[in-house]
């Protein structure tokens, strides 16, 4: 048994944050089944434009339903502080932090540095007071604040992941043509796979066959495709019904 899950995410995508947390808390179990998980920062706005898709909140019916769906999804993580930005459209173009993540992923040998930074960017964007990551000064501030080994809300951490010199190097690297091309190439790769939104999963099973999956709640299909044992949804009898 084995395989891999390539997960394409954007910081400005709420459901990217959810799938990141889900995969993170199941990472050890997946590893025990010889499943490799890799996260790929990509630009959701470019995916929407390239696929002809539109953000769900631009359609009134989807926007109304989305409020219900978001509330139900957040309930799966009861201790997760979530507050949608007041004007999501104006802060959704997270190009600089996505390039910074690619630089960190390519530069630091320890993959946990990249995972921790991605986690903290998600937290900064979606937890109140919702840091605007379209601004370079805010990206710098967040990078300077990343706690080493960040585990989630409430983990301030005295030791910081990056020194001030490292933050400067990350920001400089994020502005390089190499990182611009890398983000663009990653986004195009997802589009070539058929991506039209986020999160986008490209899953490969032990036989080498790959299939796409979309959304943060398709794990029953993903696990089935990978041949993993999992507990499916099952309707139970009323609690007061006697057993036969």
CATH code where residue 84 lies: 3.40.30.10
Q: What is the C-alpha radius of gyration for the chain, rounded to an integer number of angstroms?
A: 19
Quick check: 242 pLDDT over 70?
Answer: no
Query: What total of structural domains would you count in the chain?
Result: 1
The H or E element containing residue 213 is: strand 210-214
Q: What is the pLDDT of residue 166?
A: 98
- Provide the mean pLDDT of the chain: 93
Note the helical H segments in 75-131: 88-91, 95-107, 111-126
Domain membership flag for residue 130: yes
Q: How many residues does the chain have?
A: 244
Q: Which residues pair with 6 in a beta bridge?
A: 38, 202
d(CA 211, CA 203): 5
Q: Is residue 174 part of a domain?
A: yes
The SS3 call for residue 242 is coil
Report if residue 231 sits inside a domain.
Answer: no
Instruction: Establish if 240 belongs to a structural domain.
Output: no
- CB count in 10 Å sphere of residue 114: 20
Determine, yes or no, domain membership for 7.
Answer: yes
Residue 146 within a domain? yes
* d(C-alpha 153, C-alpha 80), whole Å: 7
pTM of the complete model: 0.94
Domain presence at residue 59: yes
Residue 241 belongs to a domain: no
Domain of 195, in residue numbers: 3-226
Q: What is the pLDDT of residues 130-156, one digit of tens each?
A: 999 999 999 999 999 999 989 887 777
> Which is higher by pLDDT, 67 or 116?
116
């Amino acid at each position: 048994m084995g395989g891999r899950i390539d997960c394409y995410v954007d910081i400005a995508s709420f459901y990217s944050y959810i799938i990141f947390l889900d995969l993170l808390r199941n990472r050890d179990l997946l590893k025990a089944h010889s499943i490799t998980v890799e996260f790929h920062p990509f630009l959701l706005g470019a995916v929407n434009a390239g696929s002809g898709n539109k953000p769900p909140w631009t359609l009134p019916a989807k926007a109304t339903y989305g409020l219900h769906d978001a509330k139900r999804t957040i309930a799966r993580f009861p201790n997760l502080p979530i507050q949608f930005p007041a004007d999501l459209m104006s802060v959704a173009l997270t190009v600089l932090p996505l390039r910074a993540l690619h630089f960190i992923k390519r530069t630091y040998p320890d993959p946990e540095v990249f995972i921790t930074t991605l986690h903290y960017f998600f937290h900064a964007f979606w937890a109140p007071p919702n840091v605007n990551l379209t601004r370079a000064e805010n990206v710098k501030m967040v990078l300077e604040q990343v706690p080493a080994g960040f585990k989630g809300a409430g983990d301030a951490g005295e030791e910081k992941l990056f020194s001030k010199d490292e933050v400067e190097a990350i920001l400089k690297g994020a502005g390089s043509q190499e990182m611009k091309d890398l983000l663009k190439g990653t986004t195009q790769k997802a589009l070539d796979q058929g991506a039209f939104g986020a999160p986008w999963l490209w899953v490969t099973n032990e036989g080498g066959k790959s299939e796409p999956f979309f959304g943060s709640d398709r794990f029953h299909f993903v696990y089935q495709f990978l041949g993993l044992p999992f507990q499916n949804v099952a309707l139970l009898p009323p609690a007061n019904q006697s057993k036969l």
